[in-house]
């Protein structure tokens, strides 16, 4: 069966420090991968998505970046965190070639607090 791992679960980082969040998927090949951010009490905003190794689409301009060094690994990074980067970060995957009906599977999320 397929599983998605996201870590760490919680993170407190000072302003200006770097960030690296990792997401890995098991049990599937060539998944579509997504990073979302959820501010407190709000919906989910798409940050990045990837349909293959090295292929990253950015939806929101910001000081974050994403990389996909391996088929089932998706990394969210920042060189210098801002206070506004605080939030709940979620990784998700969908099976490839399922078009608009494929269901998404979400990780448990990382709660990032920038202080």
Partner 1 sequence: DAKTTQPNSMESNEEEPVHLPCNHSTISGTDYIHWYRQLPSQGPEYVIHGLTSNVNNRMASLAIAEDRKSSTLILHRATLRDAAVYYCILRFTYYGQNFVFGPGTRLSVLP
Residue 48 CB, shortest distance to partner 1, in Å, is 10
Burial of residue 31 (CB within 10 Å: 0-12, 13-18, 19+) is buried
Interface with partner 1 by CB under 8 A: which residues? 6, 34, 36, 41-46, 49, 57, 59-60, 88, 90, 92, 94, 100-101, 103-109, 111
Q: Which is nearer to partner 1, 14 or 103 (CB)?
A: 103
Direct distance between the N- and C-terminal alpha carbons of the chain, in angstroms, rounded to an integer: 38
Rounded to the nearest whole angstrom, what is the least distance from the CB of residue 94 to partner 1 in the complex? 7
CB of 39 to partner 1, least distance (A): 10
The residue (of 44 and 53) whose beta carbon lies closer to partner 1 is 44
**CA dihedral of residues 105, 57, 86, 17 (deg, nearest 10):** 120
Number of other CB atoms surrounding residue 5 within 10 Å: 13
């Amino acid at each position: 069966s397929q599983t998605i791992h996201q870590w760490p679960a919680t993170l407190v980082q000072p302003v200006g420090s770097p960030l690296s969040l990792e997401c890995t998927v098991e049990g599937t090949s060539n998944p579509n991968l997504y990073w979302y951010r959820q501010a407190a009490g709000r919906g989910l905003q798409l940050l990045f998505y990837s349909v293959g190794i090295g292929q990253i689409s950015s939806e929101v301009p910001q000081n974050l970046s994403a990389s996909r060094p391996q088929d089932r690994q998706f990394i969210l990074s920042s060189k210098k965190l801002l206070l506004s980067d605080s939030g709940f970060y979620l990784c998700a995957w969908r099976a490839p070639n399922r078009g608009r009906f494929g269901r998404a599977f979400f990780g448990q999320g990382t709660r990032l607090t920038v202080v």
